Structure 1
Amino acid sequence: MSMILTPAAGAMLNKYFSQLAQGYGIDLGALQRGEKFSVTPPMETRLRAALLESADFLRMITLVDVDQIKGQVVDVGIGSIHTGRKANGRFLKNVGVGGHGYELVETDSGAVLPWSTLAGWANAGSEGEFMRLVNEFINRTFALDMIRVGFNGTSAAADTDPAANPLGQDVNKGWQQLVREWNDGSQIVGSAQSKIYFDPDGQGDYKTLDAMASDLINSTIDPAFRNDPRLTVLVGADLVAAAQGRLYQEADKPSEQILAQQLATSVAGRRAITPPFFPGKRMVVTIPANLHLYTQRGTRQRSAAHNQDRKGFESQYWRMEGYAVGEYRAYASFDESGIEIAPAPAPAG
């Protein structure tokens, strides 16, 4: 398809601009010129809701607006008991700030919808469908990037390089990196210098994902959190594929095939999920709400423009943003750098 904005797509895009300007309470002309505009508090709530709707995993974690660029992690009560008594009064457990800090950095998301895509959407459905597709694309793109950086980010570079760091490794420090840097990495098992072998045939350190997760729970998760029913196993697709492949090979009746299918949803008796952009050989056991994503209140800015040079519709979202872990002791992980899906090598000599 040629890169031409059809009259139908152009008309629908103009209508989209009008609705966007009306919704944010800004001048249509300024919007069409691509000028940045601040997101007001009511629209901040709507924007966050739209992002949550676009990626299921974001609904599971803790998203909080904070006032300061640096501060103490917001305590959402992970693992704390809120029931008791006092002889001369009422028992209360505060939900406030935790004992370790967070830091937000400038974060700029931008997406371009090419004319050919817009033309296809304009031809495929109604005006309402066109609006929905544009909004869903933009919100889902930005939401998935938040998750991508959360799992893969290791630093916050002044100038990011998406070609060298396609998973956003240089956009911000994500959850795994923050845990690596806490208490000498005590909550993370395995490294490039200390390999762990996962072999479903039994010739490695672990034969099953159940054994791996159970080790994390019983050896690395703090005893205060080990029996929390919210503990969830986040497991990489490569580990799941290796484990399922072995089960399917051994399955000679329907019940065993069902067991192999269920492996992707339950590990070590806990709920198991494979989130988007989660490293294939990583395993994490934590409470999903223990993973935090903070945005500084009042910093959200949006812009949208019909860019002739790029031959597409541009949408950008700027804010101060950062990641945090609520309670490090409720997080345990096998790091992908230390995992090999293979038999353990024979001892030297």
Structure 2
Amino acid sequence: MTQYTLALHAAVGGVPGNSPADAYFALTPPMEQALRQVLLESIDFLGMVTSSDVDQMQGQVVDVGASALFTGRKAAGRFIRPITVDGNQYALKETDSGVALPWDLLSIWANAGGNEQFMQLVNAFTTQAFALDMLRIGWNGTSAAATTDYTTNPLGEDVNKGWHQIAKEFNGGAQIISTAVTLGAGGDYVSLDAMAADLINTKIPAEFRDDPRLTVLVGADLVAAEQFRLYQAADKPTEKIAAQLLANSIAGRKAIIPPFMPGKRLVVTIPANLQILTQRNTRQRKVEFVEDRKQYENKYLRNEGYALGYRELYAAIDESAVTIGTGE
């Protein structure tokens, strides 16, 4: 059995062959760490953000992503610069994840192999589902409703406030460009390089602009439009090369297309500046086969929320402001 599978079973509080628990059970600190590690490893981008535990439902965000100057001297003593946390607060909300696997799907999976393979399929499916939801909410969350509606808000818009919403509410939304802009020939920006460069130069503080970790997070629609433009000019070798490299580099910076980020949104930040915070000792798991509903249910309850380590280090062009030009 792989270490990955063992971690999964440890995270749900059991081992292969054991019956699921009949009630919610709290995870011990080692189990909490195992569960968090499995979630982070299941989705590449999730491993780039900061995922940490906190003690309180509300508190001060600790900046772990910025790289301000921490070196100097003091004539009358030692030079030291504290990490600033004043005014940057997080607020966690009850967060409940639950996957129901119906009997017909269980029947297929159960016949796909032995008990160990069956448990691997179930755990891999639910772990990835929970991890992807963390990103859905992080990029699209705007509020925290008492009762959420996944039909009306399929991207978790009403589960919690995500990173973009937090930035919108900081300093009057000064870090977010929300005025109408057009990408394309004859528009405000002729290319994604120009759009990202302007965002960096106008919204990212000067002390962070040369940080090698600064990353352009770009929506899939913007990348597709830019690649189309570049391939239209593919008779030029430089344009063809640029189109091929677009998914990896924009404006001389590393570029990533994060899962579930709106297609026309452009963000510049350090990925570690994006935080997912969970209250320590609140993780509860329950796995059971519910006979009345003829389904296997895997549930994960905790207090969780989102934060920006250094809010000035998140700059974005809001998707609602972007028009992709035709290039005509």
**TM-score normalized by structure 1?**
0.85
Determine which of 30, 39, 54 is the counterpart of 1:51: 39
Aligned residue type for 1:68: Q
Deviation at 1:340, TM superposition (A): 1.1
Distance 2:51 2:181 in 1: 34
Aligned residue type for 2:203: T
Determine which of 153, 165, 186 is the counterpart of 1:165: 153
Tell me the SS of whatever aligns to 1:309. Answer: helix
Change (3 A) 1:40 1:96: farther
Change (3 A) 1:99 1:161: same
Tell me the SS of whatever aligns to 2:255. Answer: strand
Partner of 2:113: 125
Partner of 2:227: 244
Deviation at 1:98, TM superposition (A): 4.9
Percent sequence identity over aligned pairs = 57
Determine which of 302, 306, 309 is the counterpart of 1:319: 302
Distance 1:168 1:116 in 2: 27
- Pair 1:68-2:51 in alignment: no
Partner of 2:127: 139
Determine which of 187, 190, 200 is the counterpart of 1:217: 200
Distance 2:327 2:28 in 1: 57
Change (3 A) 1:18 1:64: closer
Change (3 A) 1:101 1:133: same
Deviation at 1:140, TM superposition (A): 0.6
- 1:92-103 matches, within 5 Å, as 92-95=80-83, 97-103=85-91
User: How large is the RMSD of aligned CA atoms in angstroms?
Assistant: 2.4
Aligned residue type for 1:63: S
Determine which of 191, 195, 206 is the counterpart of 2:180: 195
Change (3 A) 1:265 1:77: closer
Partner of 2:252: 269
Partner of 1:148: 136
Aligned residue type for 1:50: V
Partner of 1:82: 70
Aligned residue type for 2:207: A
Structure 1 unaligned residues grouped into runs of 5+: 1-15
8 A contact 1:153–1:168 mirrored in 2: yes
Deviation at 1:63, TM superposition (A): 0.9
Deviation at 1:265, TM superposition (A): 1.0
Superposed CA offset, 1:305-330 (max 9, x none):
10233332101101111111111111
Deviation at 1:254, TM superposition (A): 6.4
Distance 2:205 2:134 in 1: 28
Report the structure number with the largest CA radius of gyration.
Answer: 1
Partner of 1:291: 274
8 A contact 1:17–1:32 mirrored in 2: no
Partner of 2:285: 302
Is the deviation greater in 147-156 or in 78-87? 78-87
Aligned residue type for 1:316: K
Tell me the SS of whatever aligns to 2:61. Answer: strand
Superposed CA offset, 1:65-122 (max 9, x none):
0001110001215122233344566544445745411100111000112233333333
8 A contact 2:230–2:240 mirrored in 1: yes
- Pair 1:41-2:24 in alignment: no
Deviation at 1:189, TM superposition (A): 0.3
Aligned residue type for 1:141: A
Superposed CA offset, 1:169-200 (max 9, x none):
0000000001100111000002xxx321112x
Tell me the number of residue pairs that the alignment of Structure 1 and Structure 2 aligns: 319
Tell me the SS of whatever aligns to 1:124. Answer: coil
Deviation at 1:56, TM superposition (A): 1.0
